[in-house]
Amino acid sequence: MRLYETLADDIQSQIANGVYQPGERLPSVRQTSQQRQISITTVIRAYLLLESRGLIVSRPQSGYFVSTLEAYAAPALTAAKPKPIAISASVDVSRLVLSTLRSIATDDAVPLGSPYPDPGAFPFEKLNRYAYAAARDDSLRGMRDALPPGHPKLIRQIAKRYSEKGVTIDPAEIIVTVGATEAINLCLQAVAKPGDVIAVESPTFYAMLHAIERMGMKAIEIPTHAARGIDVDALASIARDQRIGACMVMPNFQNPLGFEMPDEAKRALVSLSAELNMPLIENGVYNELYYGDTYPTTLKQYDREGLVLHCSSFSKTLASAYRIGWALPGRYRDQVEKLKFLNTLTTASIPQLAIAEFLEREGYEHHLRRLRKTYAQQANLMKAIVTRFFPAGTRLSNPAGGYVLWVELPDKVDGMKLYQLALERGITVGPGYMFSASGSYRNFIRLNYSTPWSPEIEQAVITVGKLATTCAK
């Protein structure tokens, strides 16, 4: 446990035992630093952690006080505002996404707008050693193990991983892909055709919109609750009036909202899928990044008709640069395998084998536990800073996993303008425009908190908050 966490837990215990009463002022940062003989930065981080837990509040020019019974936090998001809107495939979100990624890569901007996890948390050295050993293996110099469905060793490890989490799957169903993005694209191509209407969450992860745009399909945005996920009743009403070619969802730790869809809602969605014979493309890339005690259930577990096409990857948990994902396409398995062969022919065998060896020999679960704990702590820090420094009226998501925070700003704030102002100061944010093809989230931004917390990150978030406050006036 880090020093600031120890201090925070000690103060929390004192609050619980009545040493500090609700409304009572805590010792100042400087006093605590001197009394404990620790740095001011350590005290600040401990106080911010307590603030994020709702135990203390900060009052400008006065210090920190024990919270009253009402938890101190920015108001939480609830239901999404927009009504379902049918959109054309001509809406272009990809240019803004590409521009944001280029700014991070070429301008060395603070990556609050990045969709990727911080690579510093990944075991690249170990993976690269396995990749180097695989590259020297004469048996891998052909294409046999790179052809669909993928390398047998990796397929076995993926199936084993699901089994360890209580999810029984047939290894023969697994198709290895170039990341989850290819898996999603292949699954969509397998179940729908150009011109079809595809249902998506609102807001939705822009990779879903990219796939729809790329294939000349149309999207319809379904209102999505910030804690419960897609509105199944709204989807049912729409789907009974017009044909829906497929529904694309991220039921666990959705990007950007971060919710975990309740089990009863997952069952209802799968039941609706069976009733309407409507394929469900499930994006499960964040499933392993849960903050709770147990692995979340998947739509795949409730599927009895083969209509759930489950997609995932190692890009968010182990090796983003290796671009290794997979699909479990249910009844569409043979079609997806054929499309994989026609689209990209193979998935590189060396990264597949390197990951398979790591899963077999190294402590993947230990790595994940450390990653989950880090992200959960950094989520609290990010929420505390946003609550303190963003304009009045700001509302936040409450992520149950993953590494992104969805922020609703006052109506006067234009997310694109804020994006430009932040970029001028070497900071990226994810403007809400990227998460809807109908422009529904003009005053929203997404923030990435996977990068280790530092004075630079903290100051960047504070700067964005000050810029948003100026825009809100």
Pairwise CA distance, residues 93 & 213, whole Å: 9
Outline where 277-390 has alpha helix (H). 299-302, 333-344, 349-361, 364-389
pLDDT for 90 equals: 44
Q: What is residue 100's predicted lDDT score, i.e. its pLDDT?
A: 66
CB-count exposure of residue 407 (10 Å: 0-12, 13-18, 19+): buried
For residue 9, what pLDDT is reported?
Answer: 86
> Rounded distance, CA 275 to CA 291, Å?
33
Q: How many CB atoms lie within 10 A of CB 14?
A: 13
pLDDT value, residue 69: 44
Residues of the chain below pLDDT 70: 1, 68-94, 96, 100-101, 103-107, 138-145
Q: Please name the residue ranges forming H helices in 18-123.
A: 29-36, 40-52, 94-106
Q: Are 328 and 310 in contact (CB under 8 A)?
A: yes
pLDDT, residue 92, reads 61
Read off the tokens for 222.
């379904």
Q: Rounded to 5 degrees, what are φ and ψ at 229?
A: 90, -160
Question: What pLDDT is attached to residue 138?
Answer: 66
Taking Cα atoms as reference points, which of 62, 60, 55 lies closest to residue 22? 55
Q: What are 415's two structure tokens? A: 């997310």
pTM (predicted TM-score): 0.83
Tens digit of pLDDT for each residue in 118-139?
A: 999 999 999 999 999 888 876 6
Tell me if 317 sits within 8 A of 289, measured CB to CB. Answer: yes
The secondary structure of the chain in percent helix, strand, coil, rounded to multiples of 5, reads 45, 15, 40
